[in-house]
Chains A and B, each alone.
Chain A
Amino acid sequence: ELKVEQNPLFLSMQEGKNYTIYCNYSTTSDRLYWYRQDPGKSLESLFVLLSNGAVKQEGRLMASLDTKARLSTLHITAAVHDLSATYFCAVGAGGTSYGKLTFGQGTILTVHP
């Protein structure tokens, strides 16, 4: 059974600082997704990582995937208040379960002055 763990689950950051959110998963997969959820809203796709070594960047966020270590990271550079949200990673299932994603617990990020 695929298990996905994020850490930390809660992250309080000062504006301007850097930090990394980690996503570990338990079985082989070559597909990992990051989503953002604002309070009271739906989930929005941020990054699609489909191969070992994949790196994607959007503004102050950068995501990477190491399939050998079964690890993805979401790096935040020079945080700003607008990045405050909950971030989820999701890992794709293999074989006949293609399409099914397993989500991490989510990391609640708060950026304060």
Chain B
Amino acid sequence: DAEITQSPRHKITETGRQVTLACHQTWNHNNMFWYRQDLGHGLRLIHYSYGVQDTNKGEVSDGYSVSRSNTEDLPLTLESAASSQTSVYFCASSNTRRGPLGDTQYFGPGTRLTVL
């Protein structure tokens, strides 16, 4: 069965360190997204990609970067982790083609990141 996975599921790091969160999908979806979820803020879009070599900034992109070298993976890098980046991070993917499910996004299990 197709799925979307994230690793690690939990991560504790220190301020100033570089951290990379992995996202891998086997849906063969062109679109991939990274969100952060914080109490009181709902889901906020960090970066997204419509295909290989394509990346775009979301509403809270400062301090984060992504690169898309293949269809399956969109890793999220925190260049220099800050305590304000403590959050739960979700990766999602969706299909480009318009069909009966539209652009429904399918979410990974999430990564809980703590920056001390």
A residues lining the B interface (CB < 8 Å): 31, 33, 41-45, 48, 50, 88, 90, 92, 98-101, 103-106
A44 to B4, CA, bound (A): 12
- B103: which A residues are within 8 A, CB to CB? 31, 92, 98-101
Given A48-B100, A48-B102: A42 in contact with B107 (beta carbons within 8 A): yes
A-B pair count, CB < 8 Å, reads 54
The complex places the Cα of A104 from the Cα of B37 at a distance, in Å, of 12
Question: Known: A88-B42, A99-B50, A103-B43. Contact between A42 and B109, CB under 8 A?
Answer: yes
Band of interface residues on B: 20 to 34
State whether the Cβ of B26 lies closer than 8 Å to any Cβ in chain A. no
Q: How far is the CB of A22 from chain B (nearest CB, A)?
A: 16
Q: Is B34 in contact with chain A by the CB < 8 A criterion? A: no
Quick check: A90 and B105 within 8 Å, CB to CB? Answer: yes
Chain B residues in 8 Å Cβ range of A88 = 42-43
A-facing residues in B21-70 (Cβ within 8 Å): 30-31, 33, 41-43, 45, 48, 50
The CA of A107 and the CA of B21, in the complex, are separated in Å by 28
Closest to A86 in B: B42
B57 → A minimal CB distance (Å): 12
- Check A43/B104 contact, CB under 8 A, given A99-B31, A99-B96, A106-B42: no
A45 touches B104 (CB 8 A): yes
Shortest Cβ gap from A53 to chain B (Å): 16
